[in-house]
Amino acid sequence: AQSVTQLDSQVPVFEEAPVELRCNYSSSVSVYLFWYVQYPNQGLQLLLKYLSGSTLVKGINGFEAEFNKSQTSFHLRKPSVHISDTAEYFCAVSDIKAAGNKLTFGGGTRVLVKP
Amino acid sequence: DAGITQSPRYKITETGRQVTLMCHQTWSHSYMFWYRQDLGHGLRLIYYSAAADITDKGEVPDGYVVSRSKTENFPLTLESATRSQTSVYFCASSATGGRTGELFFGEGSRLTVL
């Protein structure tokens, strides 16, 4: 079984400052990794995903994440945030060889961008 | 309009009552999912379905029942609601499954059990 830990439940950040959201996973098998974003009163939408290839993954809205297999991490970064980036961000993992179709989500990180 | 819709968006009910949350998608996606979102727990999978008439349990299935007679619909029923089922419920669909593909989420159904 796998698990996902998002180390920060809330991250306040000033507009135009950089932000990093930390995600660590625990799994005995190879995994696929995802970041989803949830804007207020909306469902989740995919920000980016890592399936294979380059460990640096670029997503929508200027976000990127880096897969580090040795540290079992998949941290999300943005060099300069906007007010509109205020949202909750979820890291998720799935087992490459699992028969089912299950994503395991972390507890989420709330990002509050201040002017 | 194309997309995935959930109803009702808000529901208040009492302990012991039966509640059904509806989910409808217009993409003809094979896979559909029900998650619940609780503070500190993120999203937890309740049930999922790989196709019509094929359903399987997720991480927290107890107290819930699902059916999928048509590809586009995936209702979630709480047969006898309990306070611990107060939560926000999200339905999602995917063409390729949650393992590698993108999940498309509805806007959620906020359920309060008194």
pLDDT averaged over 10-residue windows placed end to end, chain B, 114 residues: 88 97 95 91 91 92 96 97 96 84 89 97
User: In sequence order, what are the beta bridge partners of A37?
Assistant: A45, A89
- Best of A34, A103, A104 to disrupt the B interface (most B CBs within 10 Å) is A103
Q: What pLDDT does residue A100 have?
A: 58
Tokens of A23: 């995600």
Determine the average pLDDT of the residues in A37-61. 92
B97 in reach of chain A (CB within 8 A): yes
Any CB–CB contact under 8 A between B100 and chain A?
Answer: yes
Residue A96 has what pLDDT? 77
DSSP-derived letter for residue B74 is -
pLDDT band at A28 (very low <50, low <70, confident <90, very high): confident
* Torsion sign over Cα B49, A101, B100, B36: positive
SS (H, E, C) B24-57: EECCCCCEEEEEEEECCCEEEEEEEEEECCEEEE
Query: How high is the pLDDT of residue B79?
Result: 94
Phi, psi of B91 (to 5 degrees): -100, 145
* Residue carrying the six token digits 């609601």: B81
Residues of B in contact with A4 (CB under 8 A): 42
A59 contacts in chain B (CB < 8 Å): none
DSSP three-state, residue A61: helix
B8–chain A nearest CA distance, Å? 14
Mention every residue, 6+ apart, whose C-beta is less than 8 A from residue B72: B24, B25, B26, B28
Report how far residue B17's alpha carbon sits from residue B94's, in angstroms, rounded to the nearest whole number.
31
Structure tokens at A86: 């205020």
Lowest mean pLDDT among A93-97, A103-107, B83-87: A93-97
- DSSP code, position A72: T
How far apart, in whole angstroms, are the C-alpha atoms of residue B35 and residue B48? 9
pLDDT computed for residue A82 by the predictor: 96
Task: Please say if the pLDDT value at position A97 is more than 80.
Answer: no
What pLDDT is recorded for position A75? 97
Q: Tell me, yes or no, if B50 comes closer than 8 A to chain A by beta carbon.
A: yes
Q: What is the mean pLDDT of chain A?
A: 91
pLDDT at A99 (0 to 100): 61
A 42-61: CB under 8 A from B: 42-46, 49, 51
B40 and chain A: CB distance < 8 Å anywhere? yes
Residue A101 has pLDDT above 80, yes or no: no
